[in-house]
């Protein structure tokens, strides 16, 4: 018996020794870049979330090549993390001292709420400030923490064929909230598709709604104050947003579906599949003009937010989308080179076309005949930042949950407004 | 006779519905996995007509599954062996040996089961980092063993407690020392429970994402489930490829379950009857 137990123990010890050797040889034996040892000098550890398509992969290769032109002896280790675990994982890794040297962030809430963990790069990026748009989403307390790679906005796309089938003019989309409501009534009564695509009700819908329609609801002064942090959820127009969201659902604008905790925004597929007449989509990443064009072709239309209240100034909601923040001060110089490589003109120009991106580099001209893309470009000069990305992480999470509850009538507009106001502190 | 037939039908129909509800997600996943992205977007619910097996090739390539399969198998096998070895010994000691503090030890193990990993993950990872065990297989194995051991000890203790002490005492009278009793009596008698716990722990290790993500940060050392999860971006894009990856991950588990299903069921029901 002793022999059996000894053999088992010996076997396990051997296995552990072998696996230990494997770990050391494959991984270099260290954690991420910003660990307690500061990482190795000839390696830059970069975290992002996977974008597993050929265009994104090619862009990443371009960025690495540009970086390596300046730093030929530095190995770049790109670690793609699942997005739904990304910020939890990153926060834990930073706290434990095992985080990466550089990490990808969504502009606005996600970056600003973590500014305390990031290394400011204001001076280091000063020389490229004039070449890029979308900086405010990556600035906090007078410091710059990243450079925007792409511009992310919430344009409203519509399907001209469905408009035509419903008897609406496909070249004259609604311009006021009343017209939009009438169009939705017509679409839902004369076709078998929904007016707006909303897919899985994971809570994101209301942030798209807030930013997508915000400029037609808030006055310019209210809008700017909101972005600057002076928000009053109990104000007439903030409550109006919640009311419109609730009523549009009650009026049957959206496709049916239960509230869910799983993050799975499939409203874009619903729109691509011509099962909804309109969608608040994106300008870059996915769910953009190029992706919709592949399914809808010339039937793809773009429309501006609609006027809900008089005295408002319609603006395309768009701002810096994603960018890399520096976590390891010891590798700040390398990290800055990495950030600059991500906004390098040639790489951005190639990716803009191949991947369907509205890139931040203003010297890049988008050479496409897709009309909605050109319409978005035309509206850029008068654009405004997204309303929801100026919220704190806690308030944004609460907004998602209340958005779901408003859809099913579990909370009143007044209750939701009060809760949101309280969360603002 | 007739009433027996009716009773059978009354049982069979809901059971059939339950079986269908259980298997439906797998069939749905398989159907989507065999569609092109275009077909998925245009007609999500319809049966596939394209049989896009290329999705499986893409998932295998994009998620680096060859390497990750090896990583997952290595980590799972070693972790499960360690868990079973330690838990069976601990279960035997707690159920059949009298020693000072055995009850306190059992309560401590019970308490450990009630602490969610999320609560301790930061200090845990920091400790692993201090011992230079981040990005090492032993680091992940230790994480799995420490996380899944308490329940297995609890289960084995409950299972071994069913075995009459007269049997172990008789074995001692026959000249077996304590290791002989453990190896010759307890382990063979505990085989169904060990098999059941082996499968369940293998499932935990195989399906884990969070612990693996925290410990294995280097892409080359990731486990399979993490590799597949990384196929998703901020907004899931190519769902057929993603679901193809999911099917490739669960396939080995299904095969293992089909082989051992009788033993798994026996082990679970046996261990559940006495605490």
Contacts of A77 in chain B (CB under 8 A): 218-219
pLDDT higher for B269 or A186? Answer: A186
User: Does the beta carbon of A4 lie under 8 angstroms from any beta carbon of chain B?
Assistant: yes
pLDDT digits (tens, 9 = 90+) for A13-66: 444 444 444 443 333 333 445 543 445 568 999 999 876 577 888 999 999 999
Residue A425 — very low, low, confident or very high, per pLDDT cuts 50/70/90? Answer: confident
Tell me, what CATH number does A100's domain have? 3.40.190.10
- ipTM of predicted complex: 0.76
Q: Are A72 and A179 in the same domain?
A: no
Nearest CA in chain B to A106: B234
Q: Are residues A198 and A212 in the same domain?
A: yes
Given a cut of 70, the residues of chain B with pLDDT beneath it are 1-2, 234-236, 267-275
Give residue B63's pLDDT: 83
**pLDDT digits 0-9 by tens, A64-121:** 999 999 999 999 999 888 887 889 889 888 888 889 999 999 999 889 989 999 999 9
The answer as to whether A381 is a domain residue is no
Q: Are residues A227 and A367 in the same domain?
A: no
Question: In chain B, positions 228-267, which contact chain A (CB-CB < 8 Å)?
Answer: 229-239, 241
A81: domain range?
Answer: 43-152+319-371
A260 and A300 together in one domain? yes
Three state DSSP letters for chain A: CHHHHHHHHHHHHHHHHHHHHHHHHHHCCCCCCCCCCCCCCCEEEEEEECCCCHHHHHHHHHHHHHHHHHCCCCEEEEEEECHHHHHHHHHHHHHHCCCCCEEEEECCHHHHCCHHHCCCCCCCCHHHHHHECCHHHHEECCEECCCCCEEEECCEEEEHHHHHHCCCCCCCCCCEHHHHHHHHHHHHHHCCCEEECCCCECCCHHHHHHHHHHHHHCCHHHHHHHHCCCCCCCCHHHHHHHHHHHHHHHCCCECCCCECCCCCCCHHHHHHCCCEEEEECCCCCCCCHHHHHHHHHHHEEEECCCECCCCCCCCCEEEECEEEEECCHHHHHHHHHHHHHHCCHHHHHHHHHHHCCCECECCCCCCCCCHHHHHHHHHHHHCECCCHHHCCHHHHHHHHHHHHHHHHCCCCHHHHHHHHHHHCC
Position A5 in a domain: no
For residue A92, give both structure tokens.
Answer: 């834990």
CATH topology of domain B57-272: MetI-like fold (1.10.3720)
Query: Do the Cβ atoms of A82 and A50 come closer than 8 Å?
Result: yes
Let me know if residue A384 belongs to a domain: no
Average pLDDT taken over every residue of chain A? 88
Q: Which of A1, A19, A265 sits opposite B183 (nearest CB)?
A: A1
Domain contains A87: yes
pLDDT for res A37: 45
Distance CA(B136)–CA(A12), nearest Å, equals: 16
Q: Does residue A412 share a domain with residue A304?
A: yes
> For chain B, how many helices (H) and strands (E)?
14, 0
- Measured between CA atoms, the residue of chain B closest to residue A104 is B234
The answer, yes or no, to whether residue A8 has pLDDT greater than 50, is no
Q: What whole-number distance in Å separates Cα of residue B74 and Cα of residue B52?
A: 31
Please check whether residue A16 touches B, CB under 8 A: yes
CB contact under 8 A, A265 and B235: yes
- A335 with A254, same domain: the answer is no
- Taking only the tens place, the pLDDT of each residue in B148-166 is 999 999 999 999 999 998 9
Assess if residue A376 is contained within a domain. no
Domain boundaries, chain B: 57-272
- A148 shares a domain with A92: yes
Query: What's the pTM value of the predicted model, to 2 decimals?
Result: 0.81
CB contact under 8 A, A98 and B129: yes
**CA nearest neighbour of B230 among B88, B62, B73, B71:** B62
Number of structural domains in chain A = 2
pLDDT digits (tens, 9 = 90+) for A313-363: 999 999 999 999 999 999 999 999 999 999 999 999 998 888 888 999 988
Pairing state of beta strands A276-280 and A156-159? antiparallel
Residue A205 and residue A338 in one domain: no
């Amino acid at each position: 018996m002793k022999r059996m137990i000894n053999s088992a123990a010996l076997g396990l010890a051997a296995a552990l020794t072998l696996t230990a050797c494997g770990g050391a040889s494959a991984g270099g034996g260290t954690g991420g870049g910003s660990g307690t040892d500061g990482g190795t000098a000839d390696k830059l550890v970069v975290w992002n979330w996977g974008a597993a398509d050929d265009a994104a992969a090619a862009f990443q290769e371009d960025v690495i090549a540009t970086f390596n032109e300046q730093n030929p002896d530095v190995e770049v280790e790109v670690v793609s993390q699942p997005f739904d675990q990304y910020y939890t994982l990153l926060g834990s890794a930073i706290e434990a001292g095992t985080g990466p040297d550089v990490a990808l962030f969504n502009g606005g809430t996600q970056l600003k709420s973590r500014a305390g963990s990031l290394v400011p790069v204001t001076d280091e990026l000063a020389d490229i400030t004039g070449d890029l748009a979308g900086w405010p989403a990556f600035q906090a307390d007078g410091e710059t923490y990243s450079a925007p790679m792409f511009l992310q906005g919430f344009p409203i796309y519509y399907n001209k064929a469905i408009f035509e089938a419903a008897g609406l003019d496909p070249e004259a989309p609604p311009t006021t909230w009343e017209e939009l409501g009438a169009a939705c009534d017509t679409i839902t009564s004369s076709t078998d598709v929904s007016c707006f695509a909303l897919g899985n009700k994971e809570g994101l819908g209301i942030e798209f709604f807030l930013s997508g329609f915000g400029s037609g609801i808030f006055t310019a002064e209210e809008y700017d104050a909101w972005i600057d942090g002076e928000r009053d959820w109990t104000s007439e127009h903030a409550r109006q947003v919640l009311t419109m969201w609730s009523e549009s659902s009650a009026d049957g604008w959206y496709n049916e579906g239960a509230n869910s905790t799983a993050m799975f925004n499939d409203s874009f597929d619903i729109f691509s599949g011509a099962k909804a007449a309109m969608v608040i989509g994106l300008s870059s990443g996915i769910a953009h003009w190029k992706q919709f064009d592949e399914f809808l072709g010339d039937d793809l239309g773009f429309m501006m937010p609609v006027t809900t209240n008089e005295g408002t100034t319609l603006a395309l909601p768009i701002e810096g989308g994603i960018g890399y923040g520096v976590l390891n001060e010891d590798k700040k110089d390398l990290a800055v080179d990495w950030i600059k490589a991500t906004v390098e003109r040639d790489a951005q120009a190639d990716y803009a076309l191949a991947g369907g991106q509205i890139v931040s580099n203003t010297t890049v001209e988008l050479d496409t005949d897709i009309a909605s893309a050109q319409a978005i470009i035309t509206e850029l000069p008068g654009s405004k930042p997204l309303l929801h990305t100026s919220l704190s992480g806690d308030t944004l999470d609460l907004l998602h949950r209340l958005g779901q509850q408003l859809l099913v009538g579990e909370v009143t507009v007044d209750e939701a407004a009060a809760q949101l106001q309280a969360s603002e502190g | 006779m007739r009433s027996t037939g009716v009773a059978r039908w009354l049982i069979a129909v809901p059971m059939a519905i339950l079986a269908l509800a259980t298997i439906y997600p797998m069939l749905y996943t398989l159907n989507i996995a065999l569609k092109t992205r275009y077909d998925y977007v245009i007609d999500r619910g319809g049966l596939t007509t394209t049989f896009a097996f290329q999705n499986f090739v893409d998932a295998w390539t994009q998620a680096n599954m060859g390497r990750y399969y090896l990583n997952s198998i290595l980590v799972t096998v070693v972790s499960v062996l360690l868990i079973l070895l330690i838990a069976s010994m601990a279960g035997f000691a707690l159920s059949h040996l009298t020693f000072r503090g055995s009850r306190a030890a059992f309560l401590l193990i019970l308490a450990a089961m009630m602490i969610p990993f999320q609560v301790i993950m930061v200090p845990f990872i920091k400790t692993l980092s201090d011992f230079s065990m981040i990005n090492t297989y032993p680091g992940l194995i230790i994480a799995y063993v420490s996380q899944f051991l308490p329940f297995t000890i609890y289960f084995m203790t409950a299972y071994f407690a069913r075995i009459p002490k007269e049997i172990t005492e008789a074995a001692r009278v026959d000249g077996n020392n304590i290791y002989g009793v453990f190896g010759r009596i307890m382990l063979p008698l505990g085989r169904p429970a060990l098999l059941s716990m082996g499968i369940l722990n293998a499932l935990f290790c195989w399906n884990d994402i969070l612990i693996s993500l925290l410990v294995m940060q280097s892409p080359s050392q990731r486990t399979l489930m993490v590799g597949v999860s990384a196929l998703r971006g901020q907004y899931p894009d190519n769902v057929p490829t993603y679901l193809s990856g999911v099917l490739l991950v669960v396939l080995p588990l299904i095969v293992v379950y089909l082989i051992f299903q009788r033993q798994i069921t026996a082990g679970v029901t046996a261990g559940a009857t006495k605490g």
